[in-house]
Structure 1
Amino acid sequence: MNITCKGNQISKYFADFLVKRKGVIDASEYKVEIRSYEKLQNYCDCPDFKKNFLGTCKHIEKIVNFKKPSGNLNSPYIEIFLDYSDDINLKVAFPQKIDPAAKLFMLKYLDANKEFKSPHNDVLQVFMRDMESGADPSIFNYIRISDAVAELNRENIIKENINRIQTSHKESIRQNALSGKFLKFPVYDYQIDGMLHLAFSGRAMLADEMGLGKTVQAVAAAALMKEYLNVKKVLVVSPASLKTEWEEQIRKFTDLSTLVLFGPREERLKAYRETQAFFILTNYEQIVRDYEDINNLLQPDLVILDEAQRIKNWKTKTASNIKKLNSKFAFILTGTPIENKIDELYSLTEFIDPRIFGSLFRFNRKYYNFDAEGKTFGFKNLRELHETIKPIMLRRRKDEIAEQLPERIDNNYFVQMTPEQLKRYEEHAYRVSILMSIAKSRPLKPEEHDDLQRRLACMRMLCDTVYILDQTITDSPKVDEVIKILNDIWDNNPERKVIIFSEWVKILELMMNQLVDNKVIFSWHVGTVPQEKRRDEINNFKNNPECKVFLSSDSGGVGLNLQAASVVINMDLPWNPAKLEQRIARAWRKHQKNSVNVINLISENTIEHRMLATLGFKRELADGILDARADFGEIEKPDNRNKFMERLASIMNTSFVEVPGQEDNKEQPLQNNEEQVPCEEKMKQELSVATPPELKICNGLIDSKTGALKGLFAVSNNPETKEKLNDIAKKSNISSDEGVLLINEETYALLQKLSSMGIISFNSSNLSEIYKTKETQVEEEPVWKKKKVLAASIYKKASRDYKMARLLKEGGFDEEYRKPLIDSIKSAAKALFILANESLLEKEPELIPESSIERICSVLKVDADLGFILKLCYSVNEDIASTYPGIYDLTNQIHEITEAKITGYGL
């Protein structure tokens, strides 16, 4: 390992060092800051240090052992750094001998424990500004600030800026998006929530179920960030087959410039260097090779990973290189954050913020159970895992949104294999059974494990057709069955379009030959089709009424919008349910106008047949962590993992044993972020560091025409406060025409009294609160009171509807009373939902998720029978719900308990 001292250093031991692996071409170089040879106060910008929470790494240990001085083991500087040893905390370390002027300078930012005063972020910003512009050079030389502290300060400024914009503009943005003023077309309310989540989280994941329009939400969020957060370049990384889809969606909803990146490396480099486009559309294969050039030449403000399951396997080169992309903001879009294992979620989250989970070792120890041999046998702490990802991940299911999707009808068609298929299938099955018997007594050798995987794959191929393995045999009962299905479909409706999916291209070739023989026009979309040609195939299927069939491998099962089709035929079943849902979601999604038929072709009495009952555990695991729908306790039981293995074994009708460089962070000087922080915010921060004596209140005086700060209004009994406030105002770049208007506490109390009597009035719209002492602050109304007020206002409507229903019922209107009765139950459920929900809702929801009924029953202790009635009214036709036996009497109980819960809530 090569170690070199970086730059001009006063001390050769307590300095910044560059570390690089010796003898490795293109090895990454990391910067190490050494401030102690005995305490965990050092820093390295390598990925491992930032997420292992040990406070050290191999690069630091190498230097500490190589350079250790014989004398003082701690830095001679005042060190400002982040402590990574357990959590991430801002720390200050003083040397044994300290310059008096430097100590006096530092103490005004610190409390009695010599830690930064609260609020830490505000005080840190004041300190950093003073170091950049106001510190005496002699003092500056005694203070050393870690790069990590400077980066934390930049992150805080960005977050605060986002929060200010969100507070000021959120509702106007929502209304503009709903009305179509912000984008070319209005979007759905839930899509606006997704847009706001992405834009105002900065680095976030959108994990909506397939078909809910993640692309549109990301495009809208990027456009929003261009307007409010000065985002200038957006790099979109998607599967190659989806670049055209992105181009279409961007053009449809915005007028923003777009570059679709094709061509050899020389052309791509030229584009990275010269493009002025806002959106740059690339695919994963390009990024694996080009990530360094993108960081150096393109320097995107925002990176969007679409169908981000491509980086879920943290071991792959794709995942490793994608995570080396540098950007201020980042979005991850995926409908399947978990397909097989929970550490797939770890890899996705690592791209957003590697500090959320720390190292993979730490993640596995926290959420997996291990036996004495170190093998996993179940899960633990899954509820905590759900809560950990909740702030960065937004996920909605199709059954949660108010606008209902068209009907989906699933059917399984079972076909018999030919004698030749069966013979070859059983040959592989026999060998698989032998391998699984071996696995009972010992772990399989690598070559045995490979043989097992290969033979299982062959068995699945043979379920489709022998032709996949032997092109001399073209028989396929599945292909014959599809031709019959197509004839039946078109006999009933000749306009219907069909998507046919298979994992294997060879059976699609047989299907293509049959379509040609039957003179059926089709589109061909498989991995070997060039990207430009794929675009033509997709557009032909969408726009040509004569093109009735879309033949696609799983390359088309991701991301494409093919609502022109209303039938999806799966020639085979993928191993995991998420891939199956991805296929179906190409047609069954928003804007689909017709009901969708899903037809799964299954070879009888085969591995494929028995797979139908084996995939529930994976779906339940994903539901539990992502949606908090499943029973965490049941999933975490150690024997449940064993049951899952038993279900896998049932596929074979035998027992089964489980077979066992971060891109360089360039050195950056302390940046001047003055323009990002409003003047009044700076004033607040300065007052948190040094508050003038006896200051009670300080408000900004706002010019009603320009919105600019034109002066300060303050309350204090000390006349010197005015001069000190003037000094702080100048430091905060406030040039006030009016200066500081100072009154004493007695005068302020008199004005308040005159205002309460109606003699005078305050125009609070022209005041901006900057500072208040605790005794002058009006305590904000607690959340439970706000919930109670909102629930009571919603229940008023429920009460009116129930009263109307009773009057109609008693008047003999046996049909007319039913609708207001059901409406009253729905409104009562909304009121209960407001009380039971974890967070405060801003307004009455249009509908509530059916899944929330369970939370109402659990949190508010509502009887299960009444909970069933609430769920019934939301999940079935109103006419059916209104005829449920005893519904009238049960409604009375619902209203009694709703009134009681609202009255007693918070008491």
Structure 2
Amino acid sequence: MVAEVAAALAESAAPAGRKRGKAAAVEAAQPVETPEVAEVAAPKPARKTRPPKKAAKIEAVLEDAAEPPAHSVDAVVPQGPDWQWHKPQPGLFGSYAIQDAQGAPLAALDLQGGVGHYRCDCAEFHDSEEGACAHGQWLIEQLSAARGGLAGKLAAGPDTPWSELGLSAGWERRLVWRLGQGASPALRSLAEDCADEHGRFIAPLEGQVLPTLLQAAAAEGHELRVGAEVWQQLALAADAGDRVERLAQAFEQGLDSPALLGLVRTPLPEMQWEAALFAVCAGRAILADESPLPQRPCAIVAAQLWQSRFDMGAVAIVAPAALHEDWRADVARLLGAWPAGWTLTGPAELAPAAGCELLIVDAIDALGDSLPALRQLGAPQLILLAHRELLGSELLAPLVAWIDDARRGPYASLRRLGAEAGKRAQREVLETVMLARRRRDLAAELPAQLLTHWVRVPAQDCAGLTLDVTDVQALQRLHQRWSRVGSLSAGEQLQLQQALLRLRQGSAERMGEARAAALVRLLPDLVPGRAERVVVFAQHDAALRPLALALQDLGLPLANLRQHQSAEVRAMELQAWAEGEASVLLATDAACAGLDLRQPGSVLVHADLSWNPALMNERLARLSGEGDSVPAWALVLEAGFDPAQLAAHAQEEVLPSGLQDGQAGAIPFLAGTDLAAFMAAVGRALELLHSA
């Protein structure tokens, strides 16, 4: 798949075996013997009259061309003795058509002369380090060999009283200067200071070179024409700096700024805020963290920032059809409603994305043949989301070429590293356009429950599962009293704990059936592709019974660790799990206190959600080694209390639970900061219930 995607992004491969860049420059700079030059330029015997015709044509165009000293041109090994060129308009400079011996077109070439020399529409020119190709080198060889000698004219460029500043071709756009005839010795001296090893006047675009040249030319009254592409390139850099400054002013408190946090309805971990801000500041970015968290929320928040702070127009999201429901669910969770001007479409139906100002492409590593069409959309701002690591892959260079289509430097830096470069070096040179943080660094910053893949069970699969209105009203009434007076009596706390527990447990039979069906659907995605064995945790024995029945019907060997088992039975079940006799372990929290359940190739499934997120962390800890966390999935019923439970968790690592988690010795009465934290979580849950 990597090779297919890389091939899809590359418009066409350059001719095999051709040397480019500095290696080609060194080779071309070596002396070339006269017989070899003649052999390259000479036609076959059947076309022996062609060279004189070309020479005569050139002489007719420039009869008075004097032969100045020879000048080096782009270092590419010439080829194609059977090629021919055609120039529809008179003059040495301008458009040329390069054709094969039968007159079939090979390339369209614009001969500019001086710095930059030429532009060609072939794939080799497009992919060359310095903007060179065999077509351009061959044409220059042909023209330079004409009677009267045109090498000096080609090197000098058009004879004009003004000078010109433009951009080079190649992997990185740099400032190039063609000196006009009216340039003073002082201006020529400035140009020579910028000359490269080939004598071309070339310099980095950013810095003091451009202002210095403009000031010097203005002081002498010399006309210096600056190409529109120069200003466009500078505008890209200026706009990026402006975005950074405006965001810094808008969110003076950084990630704690109320205006920033108010963009979404559900709190996000800092790493996702950082990714969203990075994407906006970069303008065109790849989000490819080795993150246990999805990239979608980062892109959603980035789009919100674009629209709220920079008046962004249409936003197009392109994702495989299998991810569309996830996008709708995340947008609803974070924003409440689908924003106006946003479009969600698949890679095979790109018409709705035409004309968008921000293009978000999800699962960029899995879109294969759709990538060239996506590139044709031409959106000025771009966010690419990767579901797997890109560093070190064949796909990286084509994607960076797309992101850095203005050739501001990242693509050149990556190509110059070479194919053998390590991931660390790639990460460093791409830090302005690609966020690729390592999993172990990110995981250290997160509560374990945020490392979980949330498997949402649609409401239609939870038939008959509703919330008791009386319990919801009791919860609301007691929370309002807390908000007014800042305290609850012991009796009121007991009422609140019991109402909340009934809402969370709901109809045990219907919840169990829905979770069992969801687990059966999930298992083929986990085994054998991602894991060899699965541990399924729940809070209570009753929650595991429907799961056990469903898995037994599939014929899966099970081990069970239940709260109400004898110590002997529990030891036998644990041994069966440890010795590999069972592929699935069903366990309750209370039965596993102090147990080490680690086994190679295991993953975790949370069959239900604890009130205290720390208990879900403990489940992970029983399966994970030091410094490493096993993959985890959690079943979330869209009907019932589960969405409110997630809202209650927010970004909290620990919540006081009272009676909610069924721990031994738990009491319903809380005080001080514990009661305040508990009631804040209840408030978040109620807010979601009211908005649903």
Normalising by structure 2, report the TM-score: 0.45
Normalising by structure 1, report the TM-score: 0.36
